Structure formats: structure tokens, C-alpha cells
Structure 1
Amino acid sequence: MIVELFGPPAVGKTTCAFRLAAALRARGHRVDLLMSLRPGEQREGPTCDPTLPAARRLLRPIYLLGADLRHAAQHREHVAAAWHMLAAMPPRSPLWSIRLYRYLLHLHCAWEAAARAPYLVLIDQGFVQAIASLVLLSGCRNEARIDRELTTLPRPDLLIGLQSPAAVLRQRLAERLPAQGWLERWLELSVEENLRFAAVLADLATRLRRQGRSPVWLSSPYDDVDEKVVARIEQILPAQPDRHGVRENRHAPARRRGGAP
């Protein structure tokens, strides 16, 4: 079971994913997280060398690529699918092409395992986010091509879109800058480029809605995760076995005694 989040940079996808997971675990559900943390968010302490996050950003994809290629050797369809997505809307920058191909290959490999899992997997940046990156970095304006790529995406059991006012996003993006070294800034998009994600994602959401895949929307801050969203997620979860081994959906309508529904 897969719940996929998407939203512009600095909207709080990682924060929301952790809070949704905590709310669902508090209700007794098993939840795994497939995260795409920015290197700057993994820094420990203010005295950390600012070049380390950028170095991790350069080296981590190489490490993960090796694992993904070993998996892809047995599942060649993932290699072809990732290449097809990249070739449909190739980024202008060769560096971004390499980084996005690695991410798409890793996402295809991880998605297959998540789809088979008998429990919930929360993905903070999935295929919708990847398409937004491709649209933005390639400058693609071919509407038919964008619609076609959205149609062929693997589908989650639930799609959640996150949104926040542009002024809030701008402030959060600006607050990241002092903590970044020059190398990490070179690897990052500019504040203005990151802000353009909101418009691209809003357009993708409209296209998804026309295809019958309307997202559930959440607005930041996520201090109190919307109970309606948690309930919506619980509706797609498999039934939980009770103490006698019988699978029982705790959220299904109760039946009256006597056998009548």
C-alpha cells in the first residue's frame, strides 16, 4: 500500500510524512517511510562543515546507483522505464540528467517493493514530484507529452498534495541559504527556480484531476495532522488480524447482532 506526497520545495513534505506516520502508528498500523531527505536536513549541529552535505549529495547517488543497478540487472524493465521518463523531457543540464536518472531508477526499484508490501509505505517524493522536476528542468511545454507521461505513471493507493503560500515558501527557502556551503548552493536550484515548482505542480494536479486522479490536499503547517486524511488513509489499509487470527477491518461499519447488516 502506497501513499505518495508531492509539493513544492520547503512546503514540508518530510515533516508531513513523519507526522502522518506517527498518527497512523499511534492507531496501531505499521508504516514504513521512503524518504528523500535533503543533505542539509541531515546535518548534526551548527558547527558541521558546510561542504559535507554537498559531498554527501555527490557521493550518496553513486552508492545508491550501485545497489539500484544490481537490482535492475534482474528487473531490466526498471532501467527502461527510468530512461523513457528522462528521454521524454530531458533536463538542459547534464548534471541534472544524471541525478534525475539515478533518482528515477531508485524510485522504480523501491516502488515495486512498496507495492508488494502488506503494510503502508509513505513516500515523501514520488513520481508526481519527479515529473514536476522534469517539466521544470527541461522547459517542456508540450501538453500532450506531459499528459502522456502522467498517464503512464505507477499509481499510488492515495495521492496527497501539500501547499503553502508563496511568501511562506520564499521565507523557508531563504532560511536554508546560510546553512549551505558554496558547493551545496551550486547543486541546488535558486530560490526563484524552486518557487516555480508550485505553479508546475498546480498544473500537474489539474491534469491528474482530468484523468480521474484527484489528490487529497493538505496545507502547512502540519502541527495537527488532519483527522480526515488519516481516516482516508485507514480506508485503504488492509484489514488487521484480531487476537484470534481473523482479519477484521476496524474501520468498517459495525454490523448489528443477529447477522443483519
Structure 2
Amino acid sequence: MIIEFFGPPGSGKSTLAHSLAGRLRDRGWAARVILCYQPRNKGDSWDRFGVISVITRISSAIFALCVAFLPSAYENNGVRLSNKLIRIIPPKQIIWRVRMWQYIVRLSLCWKQSQESTDVTIFDQGFVQAIGSLAMFNDTTDDRMIAQALFFAPPADLVIRLVVPRDIVEARLQARMRLEPAAERLFEVDVAGNMNAFDVFDKIGNVVQRGDQSILSVHAVDQESTAIDLRLVEEEILAQLSRTGLHPANQWQGGTQSTGKAVL
């Protein structure tokens, strides 16, 4: 089973993905989180300014691109899918076209592996989030373009939308920016740019809601509201798993508790 979160940057996708995985593991299911991005803390003494981190990220991206051009990658359609989504919603700046292209290729490979796994796999950022990112860097994306991109993207079994007030998200983004090393900030969107994503993700949420995908919302305003909504998400996941005929004991035989990481 594949679950994906989506929402504006700073809405808490990674934190809630881990919380959900923990709740499922407490129920006996093998659940793992695929992290698509994990920023460095500038307090790390070994890489205070983030230079090593940036070099590692660039090297990883180059390696991923090389792997993507292997015959097996073409068989998985990751390259073709990335080309198609970029054509539908092309970012205006070339640097973001390149970054999003290689990111979607690697996401496709991770997605394919998750489809073949017996684990409950939770993406803190899946294809819906990727399409949202493309729209952020396009400026003229409309509902038709979003719907077309979603049509070609592989669907998750459950999509979870994070609905968080603007002031909370802005405070989180400012705190995150202060913690990131200087070199890392060169590769990221500033707070103002990320705040403009609210309208984009509202639009995407409406399009997904009108589609065939199963979608739930988590209103992460405070601990109480988050816990209530996560409980509803957990119940929906367990209901879907029960319809497949699987049981926790069966999941433990073929799954792991590991946390996957795919850094953009």
C-alpha cells in the first residue's frame, strides 16, 4: 500500500508521515517512510556552512541521473514519465526544470519499488506534491494542466492533504531557513516564494478531490486536531488493508521497519 502526503512547504509532511508510520507499526504493520528531502542543520560542526552537504547532494543527483539512463530505468518508464510531466507543466527557470526532472525520475524508481513491496510505504512527498512543485515554478498552471498531469502520474492508494494556517507555516519556514546552512539556502526557495504555494496547493487539492483518488485531510492546527485527524487516517488505512485480505502477521513476514531516504 502506498500513501502520500501533500501540502505547502513547511506544513509538516515529514513529521506527520513518521507519526503515521509509528501508529501503524504499533498496530503490527510494517510501515516505512520515504523521505524525499532532509535539510542539514547548520549547527553540525563537521559541515557548518553546508558545503559538504551541497557537494553530496549534487553528486547524488549526478549518480541518480546516470542510473536513470540504464535500460532498467527506461523499462520502468521513469524517464518518459518525467519528460511528460515537465512538458505538461514546465517550470519557467531551466534550473528548476533540471532539478524537477531528475527528482521525478528518482521518485518513479522509488515508487516502482514500493509497488512491489508488502510494506505500507508512506511518501512525505509523492507525485501530487511533485506536480504541485512544478506548478509553483510555472505561474500559469490551471486546473486542466493539473488534471492532465495527475492522469499520467501513478496514483497512491491514499492521498493525505495537509491543511495548515498560513501564519503557522510562515513561522515554520522562517525557523527552517535560520537552521539551514548558508550553502543549502542557495538551492532553496525563499519564504515568500514558498508562501505563494498556498494558492497552488488549494487548486491541486480541489482537482484531486474531484478525481478518483482516495483523499483525506489533516488539519494540523494544534496537537489535538492533528491527533484526531491522524486517527481517522489510520482507520481508513486499516479499512483498506482489511479489504485486501492481509493481516499484520502477513505483513511482518515480508516487510521491514526501515526508513527510506531519497534526497532531492
Q: TM-score range by the shorter chain?
A: 0.7 to 0.9
Classify 1:142/1:116 alpha carbon distance in 2 versus 1 (closer, same or farther; 3 Å). same
8 A contact 1:205–1:214 mirrored in 2: no
Task: Tell me the TM-score normalized by structure 2.
Answer: 0.83
Offset of residue 111 of structure 1 = 1.1
Unaligned runs of 5+ in 1: 244-261
Aligned counterparts of 2:177 and 2:192: Cα–Cα separation in 1: 13
1:76-155 matches, cutoff 5 A: 77-155=77-155
Classify 1:54/1:73 alpha carbon distance in 2 versus 1 (closer, same or farther; 3 Å). closer
Deviations 1:11-33 (A, max 9, x none): 11111111111110011001122
Aligned counterparts of 1:73 and 1:115: Cα–Cα separation in 2: 15
Question: Is residue 240 from structure 1 mapped to residue 251 from structure 2 by the alignment?
Answer: no
- What residue number does 2:32 align with? 32
8 A contact 1:104–1:130 mirrored in 2: yes
Aligned counterparts of 2:75 and 2:69: Cα–Cα separation in 1: 9
Offset of residue 167 of structure 1 = 0.5
Classify 1:117/1:233 alpha carbon distance in 2 versus 1 (closer, same or farther; 3 Å). same
Question: Is residue 231 from structure 1 mapped to residue 235 from structure 2 by the alignment?
Answer: yes
Aligned counterparts of 1:182 and 1:44: Cα–Cα separation in 2: 11
Classify 1:72/1:194 alpha carbon distance in 2 versus 1 (closer, same or farther; 3 Å). farther
Deviations 1:195-248 (A, max 9, x none): 1222211111111122243520112255747222111111122412769xxxxx
Task: Tell me the TM-score normalized by structure 1.
Answer: 0.84
Question: Is residue 45 from structure 1 mapped to residue 44 from structure 2 by the alignment?
Answer: yes
Classify 1:51/1:213 alpha carbon distance in 2 versus 1 (closer, same or farther; 3 Å). same
Structure 1 residue matching 2:137: 3-state secondary structure: helix
Q: In the comparison of the two structures, how many residue pairs are matched?
A: 242
1:112 partner letter: K
- Percent of pairs with identical residues: 26
Q: What value does the CA root-mean-square deviation take over the aligned residues? A: 2.3
Aligned counterparts of 1:92 and 1:25: Cα–Cα separation in 2: 42
Aligned counterparts of 1:144 and 1:76: Cα–Cα separation in 2: 26
Offset of residue 194 of structure 1 = 0.6
Offset of residue 151 of structure 1 = 2.2
1:49 partner letter: R
8 A contact 1:6–1:126 mirrored in 2: yes
Aligned counterparts of 1:76 and 1:15: Cα–Cα separation in 2: 30
Choose 1 or 2 for highest CA Rg: 1
Deviations 1:103-150 (A, max 9, x none): 110111111221222221101101111111111102233432222112
Unaligned runs of 5+ in 2: 251-264
Higher relative contact order (CA 8 A, sep 6+): 2
